[in-house]
Structure 1
Amino acid sequence: MPLKLSLKPGEKFVLNGAVVQNGDRRGVLILQNKASVLREKDIMQVSEVTTPAKRIYFPVMMMYLDEGAAPTLLDEFTLRLSEFMGATRNPEAMAECISASRHVLAREYYKALMAARKLVEYEEQRLGNVPSGVQDRSHEG
């Protein structure tokens, strides 16, 4: 099934390891076969790997972008996931950890990346690093 990407002007993405940038107008790209694609917002630079959840996300992202490097990244992923699981008791976070692990073992790296993204979001909420207006207000009032 083809993948359709709607791109904003100037938006960057990675396609099978190559950084590609859209031109000055909105564009649509249709990929007819399997490819590793990450939008700019999902790409994490080494300098951004500053928290436990991001230390899980980064090796998964690298496995997705370069499946050949997965065996060397698996130990780092396993170590960081174990550390995170040892530090949390939240059932939803634990479920995402298990999901990420299962997907990595099945070589479903994009699905693992989405589970790892949820861990980053969970961590940001707990650390108070969520942009104003986005935080859960269910406890107010």
Structure 2
Amino acid sequence: MLRITLRDGEKAIVNGAVLRAVGRTQIAVENQVSILRGREVMQPEEATTTARQLYFSTMLAYIDPAGRAGHQDAIIRSIGTLVTVMAAPEARAACLAFAHDVAQGDYYKALAAARELIAFETAALDSVQAA
């Protein structure tokens, strides 16, 4: 059983349905479902870089199993680009972890690796802008 706590007004997606907490809410999930809490949800306008597009496509593949094939095409394009441009060994390791998780069908776990890739990408872009 999985227990999640939502703050007043916080949103969560459960199997594609958007839920919003009214007051502090605890939910006990007793079977296998796809859940994203509000802070894990990325809006389309936030997918402004390759790593963010990867996260967004992975998020959609996780919550939209019916459209997963189309989302996987976008995932493959994005991870291919990131593998090509990321030189740091840690970033390449995150790419491999991400690819492994997606290959295993563990999209939720892949989202954690995608967040790492966003951090690597942000650091790289910041260092280029600072130069």
Tell me the secondary structure at the aligned position of residue 34 of structure 1: coil
Render the CA deviation track for 1:57-104: whole Å, top value 9, x for unaligned: 111101100122222221211111111111111111111111111111
Give the aligned residue type for 2:9: G
Write out the 4+ residue segments of structure 1 that deviate beyond 6 Å after TM superposition: none
What's the counterpart of residue 41 of structure 1? 39
> 2:19 maps to what in 1?
20
CA–CA distance in structure 1, aligned partners of residues 66 and 112 of structure 2 = 20
Letter aligned with residue 89 of structure 1: A
Shift of 1:122: 2.1
User: Which amino acid in the other structure matches residue 40 of structure 1?
Assistant: G
The correspondence of residues 15-94 of structure 1 with structure 2, limited to 5 A, is 15-23=14-22, 25-94=23-92
Q: 1:38: how far off?
A: 0.5
| Count of matched residue positions in the alignment of Structure 1 and Structure 2 | 126
Ranges in structure 2 where 5+ consecutive residues have no aligned partner: 127-131
Q: Deviations over 1:89-122 (max 9, x none)?
A: 1111111111111111111111111111111122
Q: Which amino acid in structure 2 is aligned with residue 27 of structure 1? A: T
Equivalent residue letter for 2:34: S
**Partner Cα distance (1:84, 1:22) in 2:** 36
Residue 8 of structure 1 corresponds to: 7
User: So what's the TM-score if we normalise by structure 2?
Assistant: 0.90
Deviation at 1:125, TM superposition (A): 3.0
Q: Which moved more, 1:118-127 or 1:95-104?
A: 118-127
Output the amino acid matched with 1:108.
Answer: D
Identity among equivalent pairs (%): 34
